[in-house]
Amino acid sequence: MGDLQQSVLTGKESAWNSRVFGVGFVVKLVLMALVNALGVYVIWAAWNASSWVLMGAMVVIIAALDYVYFSNKHTLPGKYVAPGLVFLLIFQIFVIFYTGYVSLTNYGDGHNLDKEQAVAAILAQNEKRVPGSASYPLTVVYTGDQLGFAIVDNGQVKVGTADEPLRVAADATLAGNKVTAIPGFSIASSQQIFANQQAVTSLRVPFSANATEGSIRTQNGTIGYLYKSIFAYDAAAGTMTDTENNVVYTASDRGQFVAPDGTALPTGWRVLVGFDNFTKAFTDTQYSGPFLRVMLWTFAFALLSVLTTFLLGLFLAIVLNEERLRGRKLYRTLLLLPYAFPGFLSALIWSGLLNEKFGFINQVLLGGTNIPWLTDPWLAKLSVLGVNLWLGFPYMFLIATGALQALPNDIKEAAKVDGAGPLRTWLSVTGPLVLITTAPMLIASFAFNFNNFSLIYMLTQGGPRFGDTSAPIGATDLLITMAYSVSGVDGNAPKNYGLASALSIMIFVLIAVISGLGFRQTRKLEEVL
């Protein structure tokens, strides 16, 4: 009996070990090890960057994932939803909240740095050679692709780069006043110095971690000179003093050092400005007028795009749903061809076809006319709608075809029995049922066209530009392309991430409200029918 019990216990233990330490467990262990390694790397990077919020969030995420996947109690559903939740937090929730935060700041050109970095930048930008300062024997060195300087200061070798201040190189080899070897660095030859002369003469190596102590620069690659800033920063008073002109610049709540006469230093820092970016879109004449026109056009474009593509797609679906029509499969295949090509590529091709002087449409189809399809404001809008019709009707054709084929024949037969003709059957039975089925896709299509960035950017780049503003905003710009242009990422305007983020938040709210109202009306329609 004891042997039998022992055998049963051994069998249970073997089964348990097989379940716990099987192939599935090993795979899970390897995958979670990779996830934890990535998490530790992000935590370390956040620590070095003093990004405490990111570090704390990553610690919580890693701890939660480890608990979910290594606990056998009450976490089975979490094992399936955890990856989706993590990606939702990173790519959706975090993006929304960070965009909201940026919209409340002055982040942009002249305000890209925090205050400490801005102070260091001002001091560095206004450095001059100190009169009568000592010169240092200098050797140009490099590590990888990064240049640096090695100087001899009181018999000590100090080495540094543009990103790393000078530090004592205890293991350096010195022959007289010439550095011959430094661990971790290579000595640049005369030919290398000559080939990179501009980079060498423009290189600035901080003398120490304290920005006020200046930097080492060279004019010939052999002698280094101490450069110090003409500005003096007083952290306690929050002032920046021009020592040459005795002008005191005081830190303002707008993220700049401002003189008594209102003159501000060009380099500022990021600060919270509240809802200034939101009000600027409606009150600043440079943006208010174009913003309202762009918003109206965005709504018109989204509505007309959904309406035209749906009507054409529905018409073709009705025609090709007729069983007596020969070659239906071939026609359906041909109609889906525009859908098979990437939208941005098709828009780029159409941009060439609609070119005023060299386009195929003007030169071949219209006999050499010069119709400004993309340069006239109204023709450009018509062209955008036409190209979007070409790109969008296959999708509507697919969903309309699916909706029609999903309708039971009993409904149509019942309508015939009640004496309804084809038109009445469509208006009272078929049409409403198709609308109920396709309504969610129509709402999604509206949201997509509301933010149809690729079409506008590839076809017109938002042009033609408005003549009453210096901002890079045009007649075919949507709110999303306007936000992109205002951000300055494309290089056509000064960078203004705060204003662009504010516009993005407004777009998000508008789409959320419209989508919510649309789904509410869809539910009401379902209840009525």
Q: What is the pLDDT of residues 456-470, one digit of tens each?
A: 999 999 989 998 888
Whether 324 and 472 map to the same domain: the answer is yes
Closest CA to 54 of 98, 17, 15, 2: 98
How many domains does the structure of the chain reveal?
A: 3
How many residues make up the chain in this entry?
529
Banded pLDDT at 527 (limits 50, 70, 90): low
Mean pLDDT is lowest, of 11-15, 174-178, 386-390, for 11-15
Spatial separation of the C-alpha atoms in residues 450 and 301, rounded to whole Å: 7
Considering 223, 242, 258, which residue would you say is the last residue of a domain? Answer: 258
The per-residue pLDDT for range 506-526, each reduced to its tens digit, is 999 998 898 888 778 777 665
What does each C-alpha distance from 64 to 54, 70, 154, 267 come to in angstroms? 15, 10, 55, 42
Asked whether residue 264 is assigned to any structural domain, the reply reads: no
Q: What pLDDT is recorded for position 458?
A: 93
Domain span at 132? 127-258
Beta carbons of 214 and 127 less than 8 angstroms apart? yes
Task: Look at residue 15 in the predicted model and tell me its pLDDT.
Answer: 47
CA distance readout (Å), 360 to 37, 346, 357, 367, 371? 56, 15, 9, 10, 12
Query: What confidence score (pLDDT) does residue 8 get?
Result: 46
Confidence of residue 3 (pLDDT cuts 50, 70, 90): low
Domain boundary among 50, 70, 103: 103
289 found inside a domain:
yes
CA–CA dist 118, 111 (Å, integer): 8
On the question of pLDDT at 529 being above 70, the answer is: no
Q: Which CATH number covers residue 203?
A: 2.40.430.10
- Quote the pLDDT of residue 20: 56
Do residues 81 and 194 share a domain? no
Per-residue confidence band for 361, with pLDDT thresholds at 50, 70 and 90: very high
At 422 the pLDDT is 76
How far, in Å, CA of 272 to CA of 282, rounded?
A: 19
Structural contact between residues 494 and 108, judged by C-beta atoms closer than 8 angstroms: yes
Question: Three-state SS for 377?
Answer: helix
Residue 29's pLDDT is what? Answer: 85
Residue 16: per-residue pLDDT: 45
Where do the H-state alpha helices sit in 262-376?
Answer: 276-283, 285-320, 328-335, 337-340, 343-353, 360
8 Å CB contact between 241 and 247: yes
Tell me how far CA of residue 127 lies from CA of 121, 122, 228, 237, 317, in angstroms.
Answer: 10, 9, 5, 22, 72
The 3-state secondary structure of 259-279 reads CCCCCECCCCECCECCCHHHH
Same domain assignment for residues 366 and 324: yes
Q: 3-class DSSP state for residue 247? A: strand
Asked if 231 and 298 sit in the same domain, the reply is: no
Q: Check: CB of residue 249 under 8 Å from CB of residue 229.
A: no
Give the mean model confidence (pLDDT) for residues 136-151: 94
pTM: 0.82
- With cut-offs at 50, 70 and 90, classify the pLDDT of residue 495: very high
